[in-house]
Amino acid sequence: MVARCVLAPPEVNWPAEPKTRGFVKRSTQGAVSEPDCTEQLARFFPGATAVRVPIQVTALRCGGTKLREATVLEFGGSDHAIFLSKLPLEFDDRVRVERNSRVGAMADATVVAVQYHEGRKAVAVKFTQGMCDWMIEP
């Protein structure tokens, strides 16, 4: 006589009703947007107004190398400007800011603040010659 070994699957006791982990509720509110890089920096300049002005920024460094980029002035005032930049600018660097649409509309400025946020860099400059109203005029 040959003996056989048969394995039976273990008995599983399933609960009568599945347990719930909580309820998922749909939100009726829109997503809250986080302020962007320039907006965060503008909080420190109460006189800054939101604008969208195309500008050219040139880093004024010793030597013959001049780094330049086209960007957009995001916030401006009579003595400050805030824009996004990819130039290697740091506190106390000097720059020249030129408004693209106006001939002769340029001003020298000094970097007074830099804000890094999510891989972007906002730069705030203060005009060295004093008030510069052409930056925020349409």
The model's pLDDT over 106-129, given as tens digits with 9 standing for 90+, comes to 889 999 999 998 888 999 999 888
| Residue whose token pair is 């010659």 | 129
Amino acid at 36: D
Where do we find the tokens 């970097």? 111
Q: Are 56 and 105 in contact (CB under 8 A)?
A: no
Options 2.40.10.220, 2.70.150.10, 3.30.365.10, 3.30.1360.70; CATH for 37-135 is 2.40.10.220
* Reported pTM: 0.69
Q: State the Cα–Cα distance between residues 57 and 133, nearest whole angstrom.
A: 17
Q: How do 49-59 and 67-76 pair as beta strands?
A: antiparallel
pLDDT value for 14: 56
pLDDT tens per residue, range 55-109:
899 999 877 677 899 999 999 887 889 999 999 999 999 999 988 766 667 889 9
How far apart are alpha carbons 86 and 39 in whole angstroms?
17
Ordered by start, the domain boundaries in the chain are: 37-135
